[in-house]
Structure 1
Amino acid sequence: MSDQLLSPKMLGYWTLDELSEVPDESGIYCVYRAAHDPESGEMEVQELIYVGEHRNARHGLTFHEDHAIWQDFLQPQEELWVSVGLSGHINRERLAAAMINAHKPRFNLHSEYIEYFPFDQTTVHLYGKKDKLQSIFTLERHDPPNHQQAAV
């Protein structure tokens, strides 16, 4: 592996009823809690709650097993919104791991990537629909304590 710069454009936002409009391409997907802004009254992203990855982002979101858990988390008048960052197969897991490690979404707390980042230095530069996301961040490799990196 080597140092990497990943710069996906975050596309969206869509509600769960609009998943047919999500790109059916390889990438990561972000699930958010959206609510009415008290000042403007407009629906806005409030919190990133989950990051996933799939070879087909639309399929990954449409058939994700946690829809009911995410819905149960919402307060009245709130909605689930999603965005997608397209990424080829070779970098998709690394990008998802970086997003989980940097943002620590509440429904990714079971992920190994919350505490560890088993990839070489990675800088992520997000653009597009990136509300509640860090625009630019860099992560250093951090393996689990019992992980032995192969000799080069």
Structure 2
Amino acid sequence: MNENLLPHYSKKFALGIGIITLIALIFKNSYVDLLLIDQTRLVWILKNIILIALIVLVFSKEKNVTKNIEKLKLQELKGALGFGIIILFFDSFQELVFWDGDYEMKSGYELMVAMLIFHLVFFYYRKSKLKNTSKR
């Protein structure tokens, strides 16, 4: 399988940008007056930067790529897609059962963030398990 992924160094860049943006999102009230921008718009921009950082993290190459890691990455991407589908169906079912006259479905942003974080957590967990079993 021929994969066109981002270079490995883009992970460090995305991680740095993501952490800085997350800190900025937490302390947004401190500097919102300095930037002369509406707080709602600032939050929207920061959340999109975090989403882009997560996408870059997921679609970056690993430093040492082996066939097992490639298979694991693909397997975890499939798992993340399944997780997103389960969230979507569960949310739809929940809205139908507990309907109060107003539908409030998960946004695409929330769904993407959940899927990308799911992929990152489980990929690195299974990758560390794979390394531990190969050392034995």
TM-score w.r.t. the length of structure 2 is 0.24
Larger Rg: 2
Q: Which structure carries more strand by proportion?
A: 1
Q: Which structure carries more helix by proportion?
A: 2
